[in-house]
Amino acid sequence: MAEHRTMQRAALLDAARSLLSEGGTEALTFPALAQHTGLARSSVYEYFRSRAAVVEELCAVDFPVWAAEVESAMADAGTPEGKVEAYVRRQLALVGDRRHRAVVAISAGELDAGARERIRAAHGGLIAMVVEALSDLGHEQPRLAAMLLQGVVDASVRRIELGAAEDPSQIAEAAVSMALHGVRGG
């Protein structure tokens, strides 16, 4: 019985990922979750008390997975510059990933304060990964620089997702160049 519940919960989370990545936060409704999974709407409420609860669990499950991918890419880089570049490139490479799209849709969505705080903490963990590399580069304010760098990454993610005029690889190159050389470029 417990295994069956775990499978249904996983199916609901997967349906939530699809809804979020296709239609954003507005698409994530309990009737849509019920329709996607074949469960009765009342059954959905047995697993999650609210949309925010679905979102919180998605973040708890998915964010660490792609944060680990970013961390792994950084670990493979030999130099502080390489680590910063890997930090930017790996996040942008994950843009097409449904898990990533769902988390991005969520962070823009209307959530309760508790869910927002947990997402902020998860983002803080991501930013902490690059602070050390920026410190190794001799940056005087590595934490501030890391937060600003994440702003460049977030803007690049949005630009790729909007289907901007530039090719995603051009956006990635511009973001890496900005991360490593500032607005002067390479």
The pLDDT score that the predictor gives to residue 111 is: 66
| Alpha helix positions (H), the chain | 2-23, 30-37, 41-47, 51-76, 80-93, 98-108, 113-136, 142-161, 168-181
3-state secondary structure of 178: helix
Q: If you average pLDDT over residues 139-162, what whole number do you get?
A: 90
Of the given ranges (68-72, 76-80, 122-126), which has the lowest mean pLDDT? 122-126
CA–CA separation, 125 and 148 (whole Å): 15
**Is residue 179 scored above 90 in pLDDT?**
yes
The model's pTM: 0.77
CB 175 within 8 A of CB 153: yes
Q: Give 184 or 178, the one with higher predicted confidence.
A: 178
CA–CA separation, 50 and 111 (whole Å): 10
CA–CA separation, 31 and 16 (whole Å): 11
118-125 long-range contacts, CB within 8 A, separation 24+? 118/56, 118/59, 118/60, 119/59, 119/63, 122/59, 122/63, 122/64, 122/67, 123/150, 125/67
pLDDT digits (tens, 9 = 90+) for 21-50: 888 778 889 999 999 999 999 999 999 998
105 — pLDDT class (breaks 50, 70, 90): low
pLDDT digits (tens, 9 = 90+) for 80-89: 999 999 999 9
**Is residue 108 scored above 60 in pLDDT?**
no
186 — pLDDT class (breaks 50, 70, 90): low
CB 78 within 8 A of CB 87: no
Of the given ranges (80-84, 97-101, 161-165), which has the lowest mean pLDDT? 97-101
**Is residue 126 scored above 60 in pLDDT?**
yes
121 — pLDDT class (breaks 50, 70, 90): confident
